[in-house]
Amino acid sequence: MIEPIDEAQRQQVLARTEHYITTAEEVLERPFERIPVLFDLRGTTAGMFRAHRRRREIRYNPWIFSKYWQLNLDGTVPHEVAHYIVHEVYGVGKVKPHGVEWQALMHYFNADPEVTFKLDLEGIPQRRQRTHPYRCGCREHQVSTTRHNRMRKGQGSYLCRYCEAHLVYCA
């Protein structure tokens, strides 16, 4: 099992995050607020910029950073800072997440504007989503909590890919 990055490495990630925010301030000639940077991300995602109402934060996965230290320092950190800066400059829904504005920032950061990476994540703790039993005309299915909640709220319905019948919850 991979161990998460230690406090010294977290400080390096924070310093690199600050470096990219400062670079954006110089390039765009305006200040940007310093937002929380958390090391609480789990699963298969190395980093995430999240904005919900007035709260904005950058989250990093300390296990993936540990396994692929330099790759994440050079790629994930500028990637997430660029999302934050684009959000601050253009707002929500005005530009594409990895559009020309984001790509331009990645260029200024001297970082590869590659969107995702496909690496071996063996030894990285994975999130496990609970499943719920559903039936169709031919078999039982295990449906993720996300899909289960959509169906319970009437926001979605799913068909069996074999018999094409609607899935029904087995309460």
pLDDT bucket at 120, cuts 50 / 70 / 90: confident
Using CA atoms, how far apart are residues 84 and 23, in angstroms rounded to an integer? 13
Q: How many domains does the chain have?
A: 2
Residues 20 and 96 in one domain: yes
Which domain, by its residues, includes 104?
A: 7-108
Is 17 in the same domain as 78? yes
Same domain, 15 and 96: yes
Residue 127 — very low, low, confident or very high, per pLDDT cuts 50/70/90? low
122 classed as catalytic:
no
Confidence class for position 6, pLDDT limits 50, 70, 90:
very high
How far is 59 from 80, CA to CA, in rounded Å?
8
In this structure, are 155 and 94 located in the same domain? no
Residue 28 falls within a domain, yes or no?
Answer: yes
Crossing angle of helices 100-108/7-28, nearest 10°?
110
Backbone conformation region of residue 65, classed left if phi is above 0, alpha if psi is from -120 to 50, else beta: alpha
pLDDT number for residue 73? 96
When pLDDT is averaged across residues 71-95 and rounded to a whole number, the result is: 94
Q: Is residue 123 part of a domain?
A: no
Q: For residue 11, is it within any domain?
A: yes
Question: Whose CA is closest to 23, among 110, 95, 92?
Answer: 110
Closest CA to 132 of 152, 116, 114: 152
Which residue in the list 7, 18, 26, 80 is annotated as catalytic? 80
* Whether residues 104 and 139 fall in one domain: no
For residues 106-126, give the mean pLDDT: 83
Q: Are residues 96 and 34 in the same domain?
A: yes
Whole-number pLDDT of residue 118: 76
DSSP 92-117: TTSS-TTSHHHHHHHHHTT-------
Answer yes or no: do 94 and 140 share one domain: no
Instruction: Indicate whether 46 belongs to any domain.
Output: yes
pLDDT band at 14 (very low <50, low <70, confident <90, very high): very high
CATH, residue 26? 3.30.2010
| Residue 79 counted as domain residue | yes
- State whether 95 and 153 are in the same domain: no
DSSP secondary structure letter of residue 25: H
The CA-based diameter of the chain, rounded to the nearest angstrom, is 62
- Token pair recorded at residue 49: 């910029």
Predicted pLDDT at 115 = 72
Are 35 and 57 within 8 A, CB to CB?
Answer: yes
- Do 86 and 40 lie in a common domain? yes
pTM of the model: 0.75
Does 148 reside within a domain? yes
